[in-house]
């Protein structure tokens, strides 16, 4: 059974998720910690819950989702895993971070890239990969099938969708990704997005102004 802990970090109010099961193995997704206080929040939760971080995953590589990659690497020796189409996005962060007034510690690059489909295993649990480009060139979502929830990154939000005006963004591609890939999940699937509150597939099918 996969348990989920949500943190909201950094000036962009980005949601960082820790998934863990009864083995104590855990996955850190989109670490957005920006300062020492936020780093301590994550470390304290991992220690207090007796977790062992075994995977670092990025849904995509915009700055707000990778600010903590270097810290996670330093702390637990984990390099990020994401789709190789996001590598140029990650590599560009160092050049634009200063213009945005952001401190950025250079993220390590992956040794393992994720495919568009397949599964990721940790402990006694697994996550399905769902490819959903449009907000960024090679965005992935992570679906916990047994628990019926989706870590959705910046694809689908409560009554909204990801912005597509950043480099590599494509509005029509994002709409297609949601309708063809994400909306194939059950209506009662809970979606945990990269920003804001959780929602459900069925609710967004009925109420999302970008998709109805």
User: Tens digit of pLDDT for each residue in 74-126?
Assistant: 999 999 999 999 999 999 999 999 999 999 999 999 999 999 999 999 999 99
SS3 track for 91-124 = HHHHHHCHHHCCCCCCCCCCCCCECCCCEEEECC
The pLDDT of residue 66: 98
What was the pLDDT predicted at 7? 98
CB atoms within 10 A of CB 10: 19
CATH entry 3.60.15.10 includes domain 3-207 = yes
pLDDT for position 167: 87
Distance CA 36, CA 34 (A): 7
Q: Name the strand (E) or helix (H) holding 9.
A: strand 3-9
- Residue 80: its pLDDT value, please? 98
Q: What is the pLDDT along the chain (212 residues), one digit of tens a residue?
A: 999 999 999 999 999 999 999 999 999 999 999 999 999 999 999 999 999 999 999 999 999 999 999 999 999 999 999 999 999 999 999 999 999 999 999 999 999 999 999 999 999 999 999 999 999 999 999 999 999 999 999 999 999 999 999 989 999 999 999 999 999 999 999 999 999 999 999 999 999 999 98
How confident is the model at residue 196, as a pLDDT? Answer: 98
Q: What is the pLDDT of residue 165?
A: 94
pLDDT at 62 (0 to 100) = 98
């Amino acid at each position: 059974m996969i348990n989920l802990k949500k943190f909201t970090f950094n000036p962009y109010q980005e949601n960082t998720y820790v998934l863990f099961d009864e083995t104590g193995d855990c996955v850190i997704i989109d670490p957005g910690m920006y300062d020492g206080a936020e780093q301590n929040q994550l470390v304290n939760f991992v220690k207090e819950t007796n977790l062992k971080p075994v995977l670092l995953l990025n849904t995509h590589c915009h700055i707000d989702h990778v600010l903590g990659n270097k810290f996670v690497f330093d702390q637990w020796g984990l390099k990020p895993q994401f789709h190789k189409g996001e590598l140029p996005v990650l590599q560009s962060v160092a050049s634009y971070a200063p213009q945005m007034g952001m401190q950025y510690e250079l993220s390590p690059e992956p040794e393992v890239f994720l495919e568009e489909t397949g599964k990721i295993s940790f402990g006694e649990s697994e996550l399905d990969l769902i490819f959903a480009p449009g907000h960024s060139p090679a965005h992935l979502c992570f679906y916990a099938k047994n628990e019926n929830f989706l870590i959705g990154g910046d694809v689908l939000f409560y009554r909204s969708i990801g912005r597509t005006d950043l480099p590599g963004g494509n509005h029509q591609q994002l709409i297609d990704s949601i309708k063809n890939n994400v909306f194939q999940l059950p209506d009662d699937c809970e979606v945990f997005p990269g920003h804001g509150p959780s929602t459900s597939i069925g609710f967004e099918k009925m109420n999302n102004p970008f998709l109805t």
